[in-house]
Structure 1
Amino acid sequence: MTSLFKLILVLTLCANAIAQTNSGSSTNGFKVEGYIQGMHDSTLVLAHWYGATSFIPKDTVRVNAQGYFSFEGDKPLPQGLYLVVPPSKRDIGLHLIITEQQRFSFKTDTANLIKNMKVSQSKENELFYAYQQQLGQFNEEAKTISLKNKAASPSADNTTAKVGLAQLTKRAEAYQAQFMKEHKGSFAVELFQATAEPTLPTAPKAANGRPDSNWVFNYYKAHYWDGYNWHDERMIRTPVLQTKLNRYIHELTVQNVDSLVKEADWLVGRAKASEVKSYIIWYITSQYERPKVVGTDGVFIHMAEKYWLTGVYPVSDPATLKTMRERVAILKPLQVGKAFPFFKASDTLQHPISLQNLKADYTVIFFYAPHCG
């Protein structure tokens, strides 16, 4: 990420931090009491996600000798998915949902943070961990079936193991469907649905008699965002949006300007929450100012002209917009497919050369510095 876009992200985070102060409905601030068996005399940080790679700290506490601690503050926390991490910011897998209810407690064990988690007075976190614990139980059952099958003699029939795994899969799918139905409207379900992969129906056959892989790809891409709630700004404070954006843009979209611009505009148009819209604009622009694929910096030009320089993306710093205008002015004449700009050059005998007058199917221009070794 370039320094320009790092600066813009910092400014955006500062502006959002002010707005987020009032994003929780609690008027009594927050208080999250915790107990972690196996942890003592250490420091923990409560931070919310911003994208998939950034954490925004909100409180820091000391864990006492018995393993108890309490995060608390007078102002409500911005709602989203939080991490409890050591000062190194290493994700240890302890996540908490913060919504309207911001006064609750939990206890767990370093031996297995998820399996041993017990939450009080927070329905969202009770759901969040109950779901993960049940899926963990299904996973343990699957491992047991597989281990029993491996322990059998090599010549033994594995039909029993296959049947057992198939039945277990059906039970897991039934549990997931029932859980999502019973707790629809909760933020926990919203998170799980947003991360779920599209369910692929049986693909039609291609001319060679095999499943049509193009159909599978197009179906997957068309349903990739089905479970995502574009109206909920809390999703910006989870790793979900950036993770999905990254895959959709870099893996599911052809890396040429026309395809990328079409998808970028579609994504911006889908976002209904203003903060989500701003994040999408910022993220896509930052990916293509200095892209990894040659010839795709036209995406940066498009995003700058359509969203930044028109005020759709809020930028209060005139210097930032000035820098962006200058960058666009440099890049725009040099896009793939454009006529090469006129410039004066000469050959080794100092005879003038006009690129426009060269009669050749292809012309290769190599720029170098004479002092380079």
Structure 2
Amino acid sequence: MLLRLLFFALLFSSSLSAQQEGHRIAVEIDGYEEDILTLGYFLLDKQYIIDTAYRSDAGDYVFEDDAEPLPRGIYLVVMSPDNSYFQFVVGDDDDQEFTMKTRMGSLHEMEVTGSEENDLFYQYLGFITDMQQRSVATRTQLSDTTLAPALAAQARQQMEDMDQEVKAYQQNLISEHPSAFVTAIIRGNQAAIPPDFADEADDEARRTKQWRWLQSHYFDGLDLKDERLLRTPFLFERINYYVHTLQLKHPDTLARAIDFVLEQFEPLSDAFKFYTVHFTNEAATSNIVGMDALYVHMVDKYYRDGKAFWADEEQQTKMIETADELRPLLIGRQAPDLDMVTREGTDIHLYDIDTEYTVLYFWRYDCPACKKSTPHMKEFYENWKDKGVTIFSVCTKGVEDLGECWEYVDEHGIGDWVQVADPYQRYYKEYSIKSTPAIYLLDKDKNIVSKRISAEQLDEVLTNLTREKKGGAPGK
């Protein structure tokens, strides 16, 4: 597997920088004669380089620092030139001076001196490797569709027996070494299996109960306060699955799920910092309509009140200003009124429009994307104008260019829309118009029901909204 190894300026937390002890990991690889060996680690969904060791005269490679211990977690020793690698663990600040010996072609056969954590880790990896090798023939049998039923049943039983053997080994290791890092790794990879709920006759109701159970028990056995788990390849997958697969794609639901996860971390920990930043950035860059509400939530809950201990004052101020700018335009909020002027010079307000739905459309005559959207808007309006829909069309040009706005309206035959302009362009701040076209869909009370959608999407969005209003299933 080709690793994505990215350079990263590692920011140690204050608790780590206060440590005076360093680390020294010596690596010997029989058959490896390249000049360098690279040390990397896992963080969220990526791997990062932290150090490079050069081949010594004795043929080994040493990663060391007299002052700083390595943050606890799973590390990668990466070889040139093909990025093949093996792993080791740092489970304790006092377990950071040891030697590892292995050979090319059998990297999983590791001899560890001076680290009980890595000795346990490699004993476990060796056992798992042996079990995987033992299961190859049985899995091959099960993949044979022509296998006799009796032999297939025998193969399934063999797989079940091996599965039980693995579980027994894991449970014995957990019982004998409850605080070892490998125990936390095993627990972190044990999936929560929901009950069958066999008493529920309806399949959909049973699946719903299993889903709800999984939402409540998904992190059973996984201690998110264990800082060692932050730098592992599985924690991000577990958390990401909980937030983005087990939850509905709604900003309020996702906010509750993210809050629940972040509450499990120590408030001054690296895990809290990195996952707060991750979910905030994810919300800020989401292409899903309405997810700006999640960004506002993250800023309000974690940056506005000072929980984001890593953020400087300038950064927090900018984020808070952005959140406050977005807040009046969130889906569900009543859209700000607009005081506009018609082509004839008559004053008109957005709130003067009394229809079931209003499409608020910001555009420019010299905008290439607007020109592409115009025919779609025309087609949409023809289909919906007799169904309680009005297009409140705002040309975003200033007073000196309004003549060309109206020429564009005539040229494209869209004069039956409510065509307006603001010669003084006061709407930019209220609606945060940074590019055109920009579309907002408003209900009868001028509440925002959708926004930042394309002209091509309008018909589908409004069709689903009207179906939902009538009690039907959207998209059916």
Band the TM-score falls in, shorter-chain normalisation = 0.7 to 0.9
Q: 2-side partners of 1:87 and 1:328: how far apart?
A: 46
1:31 equivalent to 2:24? Answer yes
Q: How does 1:1-373 map to 2 (within 5 A)?
A: 13-14=10-11, 16=13, 19-23=15-19, 27=21, 29-55=22-48, 57=50, 59-63=51-55, 68-75=60-67, 76-86=69-79, 92-98=84-90, 99=92, 100-114=94-108, 116-148=109-141, 154-155=147-148, 157=150, 158-208=152-202, 212-272=206-266, 274-275=268-269, 276-315=271-310, 317-346=312-341, 351-373=346-368
Q: 1-side partners of 2:297 and 2:347: how far apart?
A: 36
Please state how far the C-alpha of 1:46 moved relative to its aligned partner. 1.9
Letter in 2 for 1:288: A
Q: 2-side partners of 1:203 and 1:127: how far apart?
A: 38
Contact 1:22–1:78 (8 Å) recurs in 2 = no
Partner of 2:428: none
Question: Aligned pair in 2 of structure 1 residues 207, 159: CA closer, same or farther (>3 Å)?
Answer: closer
Question: Aligned pair in 2 of structure 1 residues 40, 62: CA closer, same or farther (>3 Å)?
Answer: same
Letter in 2 for 1:259: T
Letter in 2 for 1:74: D
Q: Which TM-score applies when normalising by structure 1? A: 0.85
Number of positions where the alignment pairs a residue of Structure 1 with one of Structure 2: 356
Please state how far the C-alpha of 1:369 moved relative to its aligned partner. 3.5
Letter in 1 for 2:11: C
335-344 vs 229-238, which deviates more?
229-238
Task: State the Cα RMSD in Å.
Answer: 2.9
Please state how far the C-alpha of 1:150 moved relative to its aligned partner. 6.2
Contact 1:48–1:237 (8 Å) recurs in 2 = yes
Q: 1-side partners of 2:227 and 2:43: how far apart?
A: 11
Q: 1-side partners of 2:345 and 2:36: how far apart?
A: 69
Question: Aligned pair in 2 of structure 1 residues 15, 189: CA closer, same or farther (>3 Å)?
Answer: closer
121-130 vs 93-102, which deviates more?
93-102
Q: 1-side partners of 2:134 and 2:212: how far apart?
A: 34
Question: Aligned pair in 2 of structure 1 residues 234, 22: CA closer, same or farther (>3 Å)?
Answer: farther
Please state how far the C-alpha of 1:209 moved relative to its aligned partner. 5.9
3-state SS in 2 of match to 1:82: strand
Q: Deviations over 1:178-223 (max 9, x none)?
A: 2222221111211221232113333334333688111221222212
3-state SS in 2 of match to 1:363: strand
Please state how far the C-alpha of 1:122 moved relative to its aligned partner. 1.0
Question: Aligned pair in 2 of structure 1 residues 323, 149: CA closer, same or farther (>3 Å)?
Answer: closer
Gaps of 5+ in 1: 1-8
Q: Deviations over 1:124-147 (max 9, x none)?
A: 111112112212211211112233
Question: Aligned pair in 2 of structure 1 residues 341, 168: CA closer, same or farther (>3 Å)?
Answer: same
Q: Deviations over 1:252-286 (max 9, x none)?
A: 12121221222222222222352122333222212
Q: 2-side partners of 1:192 and 1:361: how far apart?
A: 57
Q: Deviations over 1:207-254 (max 9, x none)?
A: 336881112212222121112223322333334433322222211121
% identical aligned pairs? 24
Q: 2-side partners of 1:175 and 1:161: how far apart?
A: 21
Q: 2-side partners of 1:304 and 1:253: how far apart?
A: 21
Q: 1-side partners of 2:144 and 2:243: how far apart?
A: 45
Contact 2:24–2:96 (8 Å) recurs in 1 = yes
Gaps of 5+ in 2: 1-7, 369-476
Q: Deviations over 1:49-71 (max 9, x none)?
A: 332315251x3112369852222
3-state SS in 2 of match to 1:367: strand
Question: Aligned pair in 2 of structure 1 residues 311, 131: CA closer, same or farther (>3 Å)?
Answer: same
Q: Which TM-score applies when normalising by structure 2? A: 0.68
